[in-house]
């Protein structure tokens, strides 16, 4: 746990591995407040306690496998912000993690909790041997985009009109942060050749076949 004082409020970061009633209630409180203000965090309507409890339990199950982490930021003693990192099973993309559900209660905006949470998640990913972190953010969420950019994230793609909110359509902006690579890694990138490679075909060749 890390403690410090910011604007006369004691702020601490914690990494829960199990959920008690207090954690479930406080996480639901933050989620409900963010959704009520239209926050782009995956719920269009305020979810029930049952739904957020189930989500939290799923995250903590992944935490137990070592393939993810939940960090919560407490102001005084109450959870006011949190975020999650998740990685897939070991394999071809097991070195890639995604940040998700990064949010702070609207009442504590300005304390810098978002940056604290993101920085903590990045550090945890680095310690877990993750090589690339990705995340998705709604294209109109300029505040979040600025936050991620300040933490070193860069845009790698944009899927137009991929997020639907009633009759509105928003872009899905994808960002990434490269971390350290093992010393024995060789970068092949998109160069021709190598396992799984193939030769480009032309329209003329396709018609001929």
Domain count of the fold of the chain: 1
CATH number at residue 67: 3.40.630.30
Residue 201 covered by a domain: no
For residue 57, the SS3 value is: helix
| DSSP line for 13-36 | EE--SS--HHHHHHHHHHHHHHHH
Is 152 in contact with 132 (CB distance < 8 Å)?
A: no
CB-neighbour burial class of residue 206 (10 A; exposed 0-12, middle 13-18, buried 19+): exposed
Residue 113 covered by a domain: yes
CA-based torsion, 103, 107, 112, 116: positive or negative: negative
Q: Using a pLDDT cut of 90, give the percent of the chain over it.
A: 81
Taking all residues of the chain, what is their mean pLDDT, rounded to a whole number?
Answer: 92
Residue 204 covered by a domain: no
Q: What is the pTM of this model?
A: 0.90
Q: 8 or 57, which is more confident?
A: 57
pLDDT of residue 196: 86
From residue 166, give the alpha-carbon distance in Å to each of 46, 163, 169, 170.
Answer: 15, 10, 8, 11
Residue 198 covered by a domain: no
CB-neighbour burial class of residue 143 (10 A; exposed 0-12, middle 13-18, buried 19+): exposed
Given a cut of 50, is residue 6 above it in pLDDT?
no
Residue 165 covered by a domain: yes
Residue 135 covered by a domain: yes
> CA–CA separation, 154 vs 173, rounded Å?
10
Mean pLDDT lowest among 61-65, 68-72, 200-204: 200-204
From residue 59, give the alpha-carbon distance in Å to each of 99, 120, 199, 201.
Answer: 12, 17, 41, 44
Mean pLDDT confidence for 9-37: 96
User: What are the pLDDT digits (tens) for 99-144?
Assistant: 999 999 999 989 999 999 999 999 999 999 999 999 999 999 999 9
Structural domain of residue 55, as residue ranges?
Answer: 2-183
Residue 88 covered by a domain: yes
Residue 207 covered by a domain: no
Q: Which long-range contacts (CB under 8 A, 24 or more apart) does 163-166 make?
A: 163/40, 163/138, 163/139, 165/44
Helix axes 113-127, 142-150, angle to 10 degrees: 50
In this structure, the strands spanning 68-75 and 154-165 are unpaired
């Amino acid at each position: 746990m890390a403690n410090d004082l910011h604007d006369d409020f004691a702020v601490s970061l914690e990494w829960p591995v199990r959920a008690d009633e207090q954690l479930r209630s406080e996480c639901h409180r933050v989620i409900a407040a963010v959704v009520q203000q239209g926050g782009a965090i995956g719920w269009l309507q305020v979810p029930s306690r049952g739904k957020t409890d189930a989500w939290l339990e799923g995250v903590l199950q992944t935490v137990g496998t070592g393939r993810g982490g939940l960090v919560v930021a407490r102001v005084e003693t109450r959870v006011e912000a949190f975020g999650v990192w998740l990685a897939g099973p070991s394999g071809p993309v097991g070195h890639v993690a995604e940040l998700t559900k990064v949010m702070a209660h609207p009442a504590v905006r300005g304390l810098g909790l978002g940056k604290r949470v993101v920085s903590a998640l990045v550090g945890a990913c680095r310690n877990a041997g993750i090589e690339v972190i990705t995340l998705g953010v709604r294209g109109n969420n300029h505040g979040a985009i600025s936050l991620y950019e300040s933490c070193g994230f860069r845009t790698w793609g944009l899927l137009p009109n991929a997020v639907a909110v009633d009759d509105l359509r928003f872009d899905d902006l994808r960002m990434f942060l490269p971390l350290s690579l093992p010393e024995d890694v060789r970068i092949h990138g998109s160069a021709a050749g190598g396992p799984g490679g193939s030769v480009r075909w032309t329209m003329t060749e396709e018609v001929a076949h």
